[in-house]
Amino acid sequence: MTTIRKQSIISSGIVYIGLGLGIFTNYLLARKFTPDQYGLVSGMFVAIGTVIYCLGAAGMTNFVGKFYPYYKDNLSPRKNDLLSLALLVCLAGCMLTVVAGVVFKGAVVRFFSDRSSELVYYYFWIFPFGLGMAVYAVLEQYAWQVKRSVLTNYLREVQLRLTTLVLIVLYLTGILGGFSNFVKLYALNYLLISLILLTVLLRSGEFHPVFSISRVTKKFFRKIRSLALLGWGGGVLFNLAFYFAQIVIAGLVAGGLTAVGIFQLAQFGASLIQAPQRGVSAASMGPLAQAWKRKDYGRIGRIYKRSSINQLLFGMGMFVLIWINYRDGIVVLHLNNDYLLGQWAFFFIGLARVIDLGTGVNSQIIYTSVHYRVEIISGVVLLTLTIPLNYWLAKEVGLTGPAIADFITFLLYNAIRCLFLYRRYKLQPFGKESVYGLLLALAGWVASGIGFGHLHGLIWMIIRSFLFLLIYGGGILVLRLSEDILPVWATVKKRFARLSGRLKVYR
């Protein structure tokens, strides 16, 4: 667990830096761009680009994550064709996706033209964005296996946002010449970080291009094909369900891209809740694959429980902090008042993210096991519920409707996976610490949100937040709810003590 903890802490630190950059870039986009421009760039490019990436990647991320230990144990680095094969299939899949995009452009135009005509104008620029996401996802999965999760998190969480920030500054200063040029350069973001990661892997000798089929590929070809198809189907289903809300809002809800922008800001707030998830998932992938290979169920159970409580504690804390300050935050930051309409959308999306965090690394456990088919089964259930629920609730409720659908479907989605792991392996992520954490979050919300919710302004935002953190954070430390938080807290206190000692010397 030490390796996972170390990489998780470093990766989480990078994620938090990226989080700060993400907050700042989203603030600039929401403040300096119109809501429909924000909805186009942060909403529809990401939503449709992710669907394109899942279609194009053709399940290669699952293939790399599952079979890397077998290739490593049986082939020398210069004969290991794992990544070469994955990239080749990924690029072929992306080309087919582009062809499909051309064929079905007419249907896309008919659905979006009335309420989101600007999306139609930039339609083809979404494809290089999605292609970059696909290539990066495959390279990232491989980098996780060679213990490069810190680098991949830097590129995705920091470098990607730094590049976006530079583009925003160039646009606001007039250097880019207009919004159209900003969009076109923004579309190349993921291709840039893919090139950086590929260069690092090549120069470090961790990847050697191989243009012949290895004996491992031949031996496991049928299993690889089966896993890739199931992973491809599961990934498409999951991400289509995850981003279907933006697509439906853009086509059905009054305001089109403006409504997408309002919803997207709420979803961005909810994404802050998930800050540690990528670091934990990245650091746990390799150890889980090795644990399944060795049938070390005890280690899998420990990873499951500790990932759950760590993520749940963070997720609940962030959810309450954002919820009690949502309205004041928009007013204090002088954002467009239209964004206030997304408060309840955030509430339901945020709860869904807390549930996803609280169930730990159940997805990673399942798809690194021999029962990876469960991922696609749960994905089918998710999509089967998501499409009609999103469509119906968007028409009946407006932009809050898809958020309600998001909460319902992800609750059931995670329930299916948790139930499977418990019935098949007697693995479950919860304990009394989870209950204590929920009670602490509730107590903090009552004291800060209800007690001071009627008072507005920056100073009251600070007071509410401080009171909540005092109750919630202090309770976590006193009750010792997480084994991993305590060593980090001890390190922070030690370094603070050293800093205080140095300051005394200078005085």
**Residue 384 covered by a domain:** yes
Report yes or no on 484 lying in a domain.
no
Take residue 338 and report the two structure tokens written for it: 């239209």
At 197 the pLDDT is: 93
In the predicted model, what is the mean pLDDT of residues 2-15? 61
Say how far apart CA 429 and CA 301 lie, in whole Å.
Answer: 8
Q: Where are the alpha helices (DSSP H) in 274-296?
A: 277-294
Name the residue type at position 122: Y
Residue-wise pLDDT for 444-470, tens only, equals: 999 998 888 788 889 999 999 999 999
pLDDT of residue 506: 47
| pLDDT, greater one: 490 or 329 | 329
Round the CA-based radius of gyration of the chain to a whole number and report it.
23
Residue 299 domain flag? yes
> Does 352 reside within a domain?
yes
Contact 45, 126 (CB under 8 A): yes
Q: What share of the chain is helix, strand, coil (3-state, %, to 5)?
A: 85, 0, 15
Tell me the residue range of the domain where 186 lies. Answer: 2-430
pLDDT at 159 over 50: yes
pLDDT, tens digit (0-9, with 9 covering 90-100), for 61-89: 888 888 888 888 888 888 888 889 999 99
The answer to whether the CB of 163 falls within 8 A of the CB of 189 is yes
Can you give the pLDDT at residue 99?
92
Structure tokens at 204: 């470090």
- Region of poorest pLDDT, from 47-51, 298-302, 335-339: 298-302
Closest CA to 12 of 351, 247, 421, 314: 314
pLDDT of residue 488: 58
For residue 4, pLDDT beyond 70: no
Q: What is the mean predicted confidence (pLDDT) over 98-103?
A: 90
Helices (H) and strands (E) in the chain, counts: 25, 0
Q: What is the pLDDT of residue 501?
A: 55
How many domains does the structure of the chain reveal? Answer: 1
pLDDT of residue 149: 78
**Short-list 1, 7, 269, 360, CA closest to 152:** 7
Please indicate, yes or no, if residue 74 is contained in any of the structural domains: yes
pLDDT (average), residues 316-324: 93
- Give per-residue pLDDT as tens, 161-211: 999 999 999 999 989 888 999 999 999 999 999 999 999 999 988 888 888
Specify whether the CB–CB gap between 336 and 394 falls below 8 A: no
- C-alpha span between 387 and 381 (Å, rounded): 11
484-to-79, 284, 287, 396, 503 alpha-carbon distances in Å: 39, 14, 17, 45, 29
The verdict on residue 21 lying in a domain is yes
Single pTM value for the model: 0.78
In a domain, 120, yes or no: yes
CA dist 149 and 131 (Å) reads 21
Q: Is the pLDDT score of 412 beyond 90?
A: no
For the cut 50, the answer to whether the pLDDT of residue 503 exceeds it is no
DSSP letters for 332-355 = HTT--GGGGGGHHHHHHHHHHHHH
pLDDT tens-digit readout, 329-379:
999 988 989 999 999 999 999 999 999 888 888 877 887 777 767 776 777
Q: Which of 53-57, 131-135, 285-289 is the least confident region? A: 285-289
Q: Is residue 483 part of a domain?
A: no
